[in-house]
């Protein structure tokens, strides 16, 4: 039951994963991007969001995450309850990512600077919160499963970064 819920939960949050991972690839493919904050700085002298959050990244993330969820919904109709739900999971992920950047700038951290667990979990927590606020979370997605999913996501993030560093894809381990 626990394993079943965990696996179902992984499928459930997959659109949020995709939404979160898409911007970096999309911006690289597009080759140009426009900062979401219009290069505005706040009275603290720091950018509102910074160069790492772009309009292209936002739209691509929500779009690709939602389309992924819609395809999954067709294949696995028992996971999602509505098409809007895959949208809130994806859009919430981007809201979390952008909120994280806002917080990092207020703390004086430059784009790309690590801020655990904000970087690893902000997108997931925000995706679930927005879905909870708009649809309520599915009854099978209980607190234990959510905690497992959060722990798994954190571990995955650290693990994949370590791997990318080990094989030379990244020049920092975090
Ligand atoms: N990205 C984007 N738009 C977004 C999110 C991400 O264009 N809404 C792209 C940017 O090129 C960004 C990269 O994906 O540099 C990596 O994303 P992320 O790690 O979230 O951003 P950081 O560069 O670490 O910036 P920050 O510290 O503000 O999160
Ligand atoms: Mg980052």
| Mean pLDDT of all residues belonging to the chain | 96
User: Are the CB atoms for 148 and 9 separated by under 8 Å?
Assistant: yes
Distance 100 CA to ligand 2 centre (A): 10
CA atoms of 154 and 117, how far apart (whole Å): 8
User: Are the CB atoms for 57 and 28 separated by under 8 Å?
Assistant: no
- Phi then psi for residue 156, to 5 deg, are -60, -45
Enclosing H/E stretch for 27 = helix 2-30
Relative to the CA of 105, which ligand 1 atom is closest?
28
* Ligand 1 pocket, CB under 6 A: 23-24, 27, 33, 50, 52-54, 57-58, 94, 97, 100-101, 104, 111-113
CA atoms of 62 and 138, how far apart (whole Å): 21
3-state secondary structure at position 135:
helix
Nearest CA, atom 15, ligand 1? 52
The string of pLDDT tens digits covering residues 116-143 is 999 999 999 999 999 999 999 999 999 9
CA atoms of 95 and 134, how far apart (whole Å): 14
| Rounded-to-5 percentages of helix, strand, coil across the chain | 65, 0, 30
**In which band, very low, low, confident or very high, does the pLDDT at 171 lie, cut at 50, 70 and 90?**
confident
The string of pLDDT tens digits covering residues 37-93 is 999 999 999 999 999 999 999 999 999 999 999 999 999 999 999 999 999 999 999
CA atoms of 152 and 166, how far apart (whole Å): 21
Distance 11 CA to ligand 2 centre (A): 24
The pLDDT of residue 162 is 92
Structure pTM? 0.95
User: Are the CB atoms for 145 and 2 separated by under 8 Å?
Assistant: yes
Nearest CA, atom 20, ligand 1? 97
Q: Choose the residue to mutate in 39, 47, 52 for probing ligand 1, maximizing ligand atoms within 8 Å of C-beta.
A: 52
Angle at 90 between CA 48 and CA 124, to 5 degrees: 75
């Amino acid at each position: 039951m626990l394993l079943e819920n965990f696996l179902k939960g992984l499928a459930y949050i997959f659109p949020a994963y995709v939404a979160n991972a898409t911007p970096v690839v999309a911006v690289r493919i597009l080759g140009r991007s426009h900062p979401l904050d219009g290069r505005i700085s706040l009275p603290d002298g720091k950018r509102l969001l910074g160069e790492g959050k772009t309009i292209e990244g936002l739209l691509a993330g929500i779009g690709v995450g939602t389309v992924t969820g819609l395809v999954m919904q067709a294949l696995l109709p028992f996971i999602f309850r509505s098409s809007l739900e895959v949208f809130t999971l994806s859009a919430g992920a981007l809201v979390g990512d952008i909120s994280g950047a806002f917080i990092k700038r207020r703390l004086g951290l430059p784009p790309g600077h690590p801020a655990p667990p904000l970087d690893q979990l902000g997108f997931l927590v925000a995706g679930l919160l927005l879905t909870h606020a708009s649809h309520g979370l599915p009854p099978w997605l209980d607190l234990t499963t959510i905690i497992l999913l959060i722990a798994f996501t954190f571990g995955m993030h650290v693990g994949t970064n370590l791997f990318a560093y080990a094989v030379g894809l990244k020049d920092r381990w975090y």
